[in-house]
Structure 1
Amino acid sequence: MTRAPSLGRRLAVAAALTKLFLPVAGALPPAAVIAVAAGPALAEPAAAGPSVTVTEARTTEIVQSVLVAGSMIAREEVLVSPQVDGLSIVAILAEEGDRVAQGQVLARLDRTSLDVQKAQNDAQIARSEAAIAQANAQIAEADANLVQANNAFDRTKSLRDSGNASAETYDQRAAAARSAQARANSARQALAIATADLALAKAQGRDIEVRLARTEIKAPQGGIVSRRTAKLGATASMLPTSEPLYRIIADGAVELEAQVAEVDIPSLKPGQPVAVMPAGAKEALKGTIRLIAPEVDKASRLGRVRVALDGNPPVAIGSFARGTIETGRKHAVTLPLSAITYTRSGPTVQTVKDGKIATRKVTLGLSGGGRAEIATGLAAGETVVARAGTFVRDGDLITPVAMN
């Protein structure tokens, strides 16, 4: 029921009407003016609801992605250290950024002292070979003397048995036979010693040859030189604490080592495509997930993934990069994320029908690009409040304003 205006308000309305019809007031009887003023109460127009921005649920393609960030690193880094100690560097043959092949000489060490040792060893080998030849000659001579001494002893023994040789002669021939046997044994021992000396000299010669070969610092695997610490005149050291002379990116393969939130790890798997954007790059590089670390950091709750780049593009290791990993793509009913409210009972939206608000529970699916898939609870074409958290409740009347 419409409430009648107060007397003061009715008089004000009457005054306004009087001014409006002042040019024709003379043609109207005073009673008419009074009738207008005292007529039935004027009904007030219904108050309009507040303006609220709304949007429609519509079917679009939604792409869900996981964003990761990290640094570019070498997939495998080859450390090149000297394998001979105490020699100075006399030549640098590779620089940072050079692509080198397996076995290529990167630097050379001073080999003067090793050349002297090799000359001495060669002389030792020659001496041992001569000693062996001499020992063989002594053996031949000792064997001949032994045969002669044994024959003489045998004859003397026969003569003594027949009484034609004295005991003294017998003893002399027996001693001569034993002496010849001893000299033959000594000659054979000398041969054994000379043979051992030759084997030792040859082993030392092989060791010197190995050390001479190691004076050429070679690349154990092909790739790109990422760092050179070798300096002319520096002494090569094999100590574990010494810095390697060279660092090589094996096969030039660079990849992204990125950190990812632990909640996103279950949606990742090796082989998934990744768009990698290094710092300063204008176009993303193509890559794939090569490895997912099985461990999550207890403090940061972040895991690690390794992303291999297709084609091994020239990217500086250590540089920052971001990666976008697509984890889902489909056509579905979607809404802007701003239209969704998250409550203890689950996500909800505020639908608008005939200007009236109604809250409805929904089930979400994929999310990406600022939109979320509405799996259940809402159909395409339905209108909802565009910005969740607007101070309207179920049953409120609003004036819908389409979202730009």
Structure 2
Amino acid sequence: MSLRAHPTLVLTTLALAALLGLSACQRPEAKSKDKADAKPALLIAPEDLRQVGSSGLVGAPVLTGSVQAARRADLRAEVAAVVLQVAKDNGEPVRQGDVIVRLDSTAIRDNLTSAEEALRASTQSFEQTERVLQRQKTLNQQGMTSMQALEDAELRRNAAQSDLAAAKARVVSARQQLTRTEVRAPFDGVVSERKVSVGDTVQVGREIVKVIDPRSMRFEGQVSADRMGEIKVGQAVALRVNGVAEGEFKGRIERIDAAANATTRQVEVIARFEDPASAPKVAGLYAEGRVDTGLQTALVLPEGSIVRQGDEAHVWQIDGTKLKKTAVQLGERDARRGEVVIKTGLKAGDQVLRSPVGSLNDGQPVQRVAAGGAASGVRTAVVKP
């Protein structure tokens, strides 16, 4: 059978071929469309999230000061001498009674030797005058000596007794001076500041070394007199210490001075750490505190979790297994703590992205992973519908 004899068969064959070709051309496009419809899931680890919380420190009184040791001692020279040895340096621990600095004791030892010889001579003189007095008393009772001789003997005995007492005092003083050539730790602690070196000549009253007890750290700060009416002994304080990465420390106001500084018009406030074991062990660090007055409580979030677009702001909230773009209304900003008050849009306990970056979509699936499994909320995995 020829093709010319059956034109209908020819048309049917050509149409079938065209349909097959069209179908073959559409298959890659369909695959591409399916692939495009796959939704990227956001991999989120616990460290990528931040929980919305309330704070009672909004507008609270600010304390500025430093961390200091409540138990500290400034050891000064009690004798004039040359420094022979420095046994402990800055940062080294000391036990009570340990020698920290040793001074030259040569001249003081000579004085002690001289005082001891004078004491020996005074003792002998007193004993001799005492024997003479006893003999004069015996002779006077027998009528063999006059009353004047007895009184003279008693006067010599009394003078010798006074010389003996003075000689004993000089020996005690010389021995005390000798002990003062060794500067010892008054309590268990750490050498915080050494101010002399071997060969230095120190005079009486010169500061030699400072010793602190790191277990007695506390916050010593000042507050403006205008805010004095808001603080009381026993109130909680949130402390931030410069150079310490542990975050905030909890404390309690322990003492408020009764007089303001005549120059700054600020009042000194002392606060103790609630957990002394975790308190900073370095004295002199700058610190800032916020007193929890409890007068105003509001929801707060760090600025890094908030995305601003002109006059509007939003956060990326975790809504079950999806990412939700939530508009928020902002309030007061705490420049010191880097937090912003959230007026509307969130409630306490809501979870938001800590640092939203990259391309995020409203309704995007969320996949939770173990700690360290995501990188600040920017890693994604394709999840097919």
TM-score class normalised by the smaller sequence: 0.5 to 0.7
Residue from 265, 272, 278 that aligns with 1:308: 272
2:56 and 2:94 map into 1 onto residues whose CA distance is 42
Residue 305 of structure 1: how far off its partner (Å):
3.5
Aligned partners of 2:213, 2:89: CA distance in 1, in Å? 16
What is aligned with 1:63? 55
Contact 2:55 2:299 in 1 (8 A): no
Q: Which residue of 1 aligns with 2:368?
A: none
CA distance in 1, matches of 2:217, 2:178: 34
Q: 2:156 & 2:209 partners in 1: Cα distance?
A: 50
Tell me, yes or no, if structure 1 residue 271 matches structure 2 residue 234: yes
SS at match of 1:97: coil
Alpha-carbon RMSD across the aligned residues, in angstroms, is 4.3
Matched-pair contact (CA < 8 Å) for 2:241–2:287? yes
Shift of 1:228: 1.0
Rg (Cα) greater in structure: 1
How much does 1:264 deviate?
Answer: 5.1
The separation in 1 between residues aligned to 2:77 and 2:259, in whole angstroms, is 35
Match of residue 170 from structure 2: 204
Quickly say closer, same or farther: Cα 1:110–1:184, change in 2 above 3 A.
same
For these two proteins, the number of residue pairs brought into alignment is 261
Match of 1:30 in 2: none
Amino acid at match of 2:155: Q
Could you say which residue in structure 2 is the equivalent of 1:110?
A: 104
In 2, Cα distance between equivalents of 1:106 and 1:209: 19
- Confirm or deny that 1:219 pairs with 2:219: no
1:134 aligns with 2:128: yes
> Are the structure 2 counterparts of residues 329 and 373 from structure 1 closer, same or farther at C-alpha, using a change threshold of 3 Å?
farther
Name the CA shift for 1:259/1:186 in 2 (closer, same or farther; >3 Å).
closer
Instruction: Name the counterpart of 1:122.
Output: 116
| Structure 2: distance between partners of 1:190 and 1:257 | 63
The alignment partner of 1:94 has SS state of coil
Higher mean alpha-carbon deviation, 297-306 vs 62-71, is at 297-306
* Cα distance, 1:110 vs structure 2: 1.6
State the distance in 1 between where 2:91 and 2:239 align: 22
Shift of the alpha carbon at 1:138?
Answer: 3.0
Amino acid aligned to 1:317:
A
Deviation of the 1:224 alpha carbon: 2.6
Q: Distance in 1 between matches of 2:194 and 2:265?
A: 36
Task: Select 2:212's aligned residue among 239, 249, 252.
Answer: 249
Distance 1:190 1:107 in 2: 46
SS at match of 2:198: coil
Counterpart selection for 2:341 from 371, 386, 392 = 371
Alignment of 1:146-225 (within 5 A): 150=143, 180-225=146-191
**1:67-124 alpha-carbon deviations (Å, 9 max, x no partner):** 554433333542111222x222222122212333444332222221222222222222
Q: In the alignment, what sits opposite 1:49?
A: none
- Alignment-derived partner of residue 74 in structure 1: 69
TM-score (norm 2): 0.54
Q: Which runs of 5+ in 1 are unaligned?
A: 1-59, 152-176, 339-363, 375-379, 381-404
Question: Partner of 2:372 in structure 1?
Answer: none
Confirm or deny: 8 A CA contact 1:88 1:234 kept in the other structure: yes
Provide the rounded CA distance (Å) in 2 between the counterparts of 1:275 and 1:76: 23
Give the whole-Å Cα distance in 2 for the aligned partners of 1:333 and 1:141: 99
Amino acid in structure 1 at the alignment position of 2:231: L
CA distance in 2, matches of 1:209, 1:276: 49
Is the contact made by 1:62 and 1:329 (CA closer than 8 Å) also made in structure 2? no
1:379-403 deviation per Cα after TM superposition (whole angstroms, max 9, x unaligned)? x9xxxxxxxxxxxxxxxxxxxxxxx
Distance 2:106 2:89 in 1: 25
| 2:202 is equivalent to residue 236 of structure 1 | yes
Which stretch shows the higher mean deviation, 307-316 or 195-204?
307-316
- SS of 2:245 mapped into structure 1: coil
Q: What code does the residue aligned with 1:185 have?
A: E
Q: CA deviation at 1:314?
A: 3.7
Matched AA of 1:203: A
Residues 141 and 61 from structure 1, CA distance in 2 versus in 1: closer, same or farther, beyond 3 angstroms?
Answer: closer
User: Counterparts of 2:156 and 2:262 in 1: how far apart (Å)?
Assistant: 72
Per-residue deviation, 1:183: 3.6
Deviation (angstroms), 1:201: 0.7
3-state SS of the aligned residue for 2:128?
Answer: helix
Please report how far the alpha carbon of residue 282 of structure 1 lies from its aligned counterpart in structure 2 after TM superposition: 2.4
CA contact (8 A) 1:63 1:329 kept: no
Distance 1:189 1:262 in 2: 69
CA, structure 1 residues 182+104, in 2 after alignment: closer, same or farther (shift >3 Å)?
same
Distance 1:63 1:197 in 2: 76
Q: Which amino acid aligns with 2:54?
A: I
The residue type equivalent to 2:121 in the other structure is R
Contact 2:56/2:298 (8 A) holds in 1: no
Residues 237 and 252 of structure 1, relative CA distance in 2, 3 Å threshold: farther
Q: TM-score, normalised by structure 1?
A: 0.52
1:211, distance to aligned residue in structure 2 (A): 1.3
SS of the counterpart of 1:132?
A: helix
Q: Which secondary structure state, in structure 2, belongs to the residue aligned with residue 328 of structure 1?
A: coil
What is the CA–CA distance in structure 1 between the aligned matches of 2:101 and 2:81, rounded to whole Å? 12
Say if 1:71 and 1:318, in contact at 8 Å, map to a contact too.
yes
Distance 1:225-1:304 versus aligned 2 partners, 3 A rule: same
How far apart, in 1, do the equivalents of 2:218 and 2:204 lie? 30
